[in-house]
Amino acid sequence: MERVTETGAQTMPERHERSQWIAFAVMVAALLAAPFFVYPLFVMQALCFALFALAFNLLIGYVGLLSFGHALYFGWASYLSAYSAKAWGFTPELAILTGTLTAAICGLVAGSLAIRRQGIYFAMITLALAQMMFFVALQAKFTGGEDGIQAVPRGYLFGVIDLRNDMAMYAVVLVVFLFGFLFIHRIIHSPFGEVLKAIRENEPRAISLGYKTDRYKLIAFVLSATLAGLAGSTKAIVLQIASLTDVNWPMSGEVVLMSLVGGLGTIFGPIVGAIVILTMQYKLAPVGEWVLVIQGVIFVACVLLFRRGIVGEIAHKLKIRL
């Protein structure tokens, strides 16, 4: 993939790295300014979903695995985070940690089952396992069934900082998001990430080179589930609710849509996609069920006409990688 060609004084990798740093700087600046211009709760929600989409995209974009059941990790992390904060009185950072760990364990179990089959079966297995855990959530007592877990206390970060203040909460969400973003960036650009991309391009060849690809796939799966869980846990604290919506299959579809709209396999794409889809949902809330139709139309349009997504298309035009 990576072809080193001279363009003036710069080599291609340097050029990619510089454009990514510029994009990153623009993003951080925008996120620092955002809560002063946009409703902070919306930005926080968007950041949680952006992290969720980034985690999902780590699998599809860099290992070529389509998980159609990421609501499992997002939703169950959200439940455990909400429950531990409300019932056990955990401080927010501990609650988020509890949720994230839950997602990691779920990811380990579901991942080791799903990687036993390839391609299209992988997607069906992840979807089926997520549906199973949806029914468990529906029947379990602690999840509150149809009501979900409501009025989750935001609490005091480290027992000190009052998160009922939206700006303090925003700072926490921003730190969590940037940590997740940089962590994923680090994974993709590590030797481990190079092996993942090799598996995406040609798995039999990676195996013949001596890589235990199943182990790499499982680690990538657990990482992705864990980060999706981090997003879900944080969301539960921010919006103070965990519900069946978070763990049901349309949520799995939504995160696919976000990544697809933004651009599969681009590092900034899922963020743009999450913002676009959430904005659309807010603007279109009054038209009710048409949201479903419009989401479907976007899916179809992206697959037929627009497979690179927004960020992928921009990067392609500018001949850079974002």
Residue 280 interacting with other proteins (CB under 8 A)? no
Sort 288 into a burial class: Cβ within 10 Å, 0-12 / 13-18 / 19+.
exposed
From CA 257, how far away is CA 169, in angstroms rounded? Answer: 27
**Nearest in space to 65 (alpha carbons), one of 109, 105, 103, 121:** 121
Q: Determine which residue in the list 105, 218, 291, 320 makes contact with other proteins, applying CB under 8 A.
A: 291
Q: Calculate the alpha carbon distances from 62 to 56, 127, 140 in Å.
A: 10, 20, 35
Residue 24 interacting with other proteins (CB under 8 A)? no
For residue 59, the minimal CB distance to other proteins (Å) is: 11
Residue 208 interacting with other proteins (CB under 8 A)? no
From CA 245, how far away is CA 151, in angstroms rounded? Answer: 16
Looking at the Cβ atoms of 120 and 285, the one nearer to other proteins is 120
Residue 293 interacting with other proteins (CB under 8 A)? yes
Residue 295 interacting with other proteins (CB under 8 A)? yes
Residue 145 interacting with other proteins (CB under 8 A)? no
From CA 184, how far away is CA 172, in angstroms rounded? Answer: 18
Site map for other proteins, 234-263, x if CB under 8 A?
A: ---------------x---x--x---x---
Looking at the Cβ atoms of 98 and 259, the one nearer to other proteins is 259
CB 283 within 8 A of CB 295: no
For residue 158, the minimal CB distance to other proteins (Å) is: 39
Q: Calculate the alpha carbon distances from 79 to 94, 223, 241 in Å.
A: 14, 19, 8
Residue 213 interacting with other proteins (CB under 8 A)? no
For residue 180, the minimal CB distance to other proteins (Å) is: 24
Q: Which of residues 87-116 bind other proteins (CB under 8 A)?
A: 113-114, 116
For residue 123, the minimal CB distance to other proteins (Å) is: 6
Q: Three-state DSSP class for 6?
A: strand
Query: What residues contact residue 48 under an 8 Å CB cut-off, 6+ apart?
Result: 173, 177, 231, 232, 234, 235, 238
Number of residues that bind other proteins (CB under 8 A): 45
Looking at the Cβ atoms of 27 and 66, the one nearer to other proteins is 66
In sign, the C-alpha dihedral spanning 123, 129, 135, 141 is negative
For residue 250, the minimal CB distance to other proteins (Å) is: 9
Q: Which amino acid is at 22?
A: I
Residue 68 interacting with other proteins (CB under 8 A)? yes
Residue 125 interacting with other proteins (CB under 8 A)? yes
Total residues found in the chain within this entry: 322
Looking at the Cβ atoms of 30 and 297, the one nearer to other proteins is 297
**Nearest in space to 295 (alpha carbons), one of 320, 278, 316, 309:** 278
Site residues, other proteins (CB under 8 A): 60, 64, 66, 68, 113-114, 116-121, 123-125, 127-129, 131-132, 135-136, 138-139, 249, 253, 256, 260, 288-300, 302-304, 307
